[in-house]
Amino acid sequence: MYSFDARVRYSECDKDGRLSLVAMINYLQDCSTFHSESLGIGFGPLGERGLAWVLGAWQIEIEELPLFNTPITVSTWCHEITHAHALRNFQILDCEGRTLVRADSQWLMFDTAKQRATRVPEDQRAYFTGEKRLDMAPFERKIRVPEGGRRCQTIVVGEQNLDTNRHVNNAQYVLFALDALAELGHAIDLARLSVQYRKMAWLGDSIVAVAHEDGGGWVVELEDEAGTNYALVRLKTR
């Protein structure tokens, strides 16, 4: 397990003074990248080989988002790695050891020259130390999209949406989904978030948000103008 300690910054808070959903996801991303750097197999060495880890799916369960100035510990570990993918758990704990957020995630190895998934190199097995998966619901094999749906905003991808791989960072898709629901006048007390990533979006691409009511929450499709999904975001309320 890899962990780091932090304190919720004011700049990371939402209007209620709690860690925002996107900032929370950024903490999880940061933990995974710090873990990689600590093992000497981060995005620098991988990039020199024309490779990158890309996120295939999130499953995040939220007990409570911490308030401003709360000390937190963010942890991650790889509980499965094969030639095809890696599965990585995360936790955010408060200073009393209480679980605030738990997450599971699927990662794929990406060949940046061929622009496609590729075999996980043998040296990446250094991530796996035998730790078990968190007690969470299993991954959804496929997010079901309800009929109908309301077309919301169209986002044109800008430089601020990109990460070091030069495609839209995975947390940004969640931000786009939340903005779509805000456009419809819906604020969500979120208990569970599932995201499935289908296609990368690049600088200048247009992303159309289509929101579907789903018993106890919403499914937001983020798609191109032809209707092909970049990502599906399911938001379940308490």
Summarised one tens digit per residue, pLDDT across range 156-171 is: 999 999 988 788 999 9
- What the block records as the tokens of 5 is 């300690």
Residues 31 and 98 in one domain: yes
Average pLDDT, the chain: 93
Q: What is the DSSP secondary structure assignment for residue 193, as one 8-state letter? A: E
Give residue 159's identity as a one-letter amino acid code: E
Crossing angle (nearest 10°) for helices 21-38 and 170-183:
180
Summarised one tens digit per residue, pLDDT across range 68-88 is: 999 999 999 999 999 999 999
Q: How far is CA 50 from CA 47, 111, 190, 235, in A?
A: 5, 6, 37, 34
The residue segments making up the domain with residue 167 are 150-237
Mean pLDDT of 10-22: 95
Confidence at residue 49, expressed as pLDDT on a 0 to 100 scale: 92
Question: Model pTM?
Answer: 0.92
Q: Distance between CA atoms of 223 and 210, rounded to whole angstroms?
A: 8
Kindly report the CATH number assigned to the domain that includes residue 63: 3.10.129.10
Q: Distance between CA atoms of 235 and 218, rounded to whole angstroms?
A: 5
Residues 186 and 229 in one domain: yes
Q: Distance between CA atoms of 80 and 129, rounded to whole angstroms?
A: 9
Residues 99 and 159 in one domain: no
Residues 94 and 155 in one domain: no
The domain total for the chain is 2
Residues 170 and 117 in one domain: no
Residues 120 and 25 in one domain: yes
Summarised one tens digit per residue, pLDDT across range 171-212 is: 999 999 999 999 888 777 889 999 999 999 999 999 999 999
Residues 10 and 59 in one domain: yes
Helix (H) or strand (E) holding 171: helix 170-183
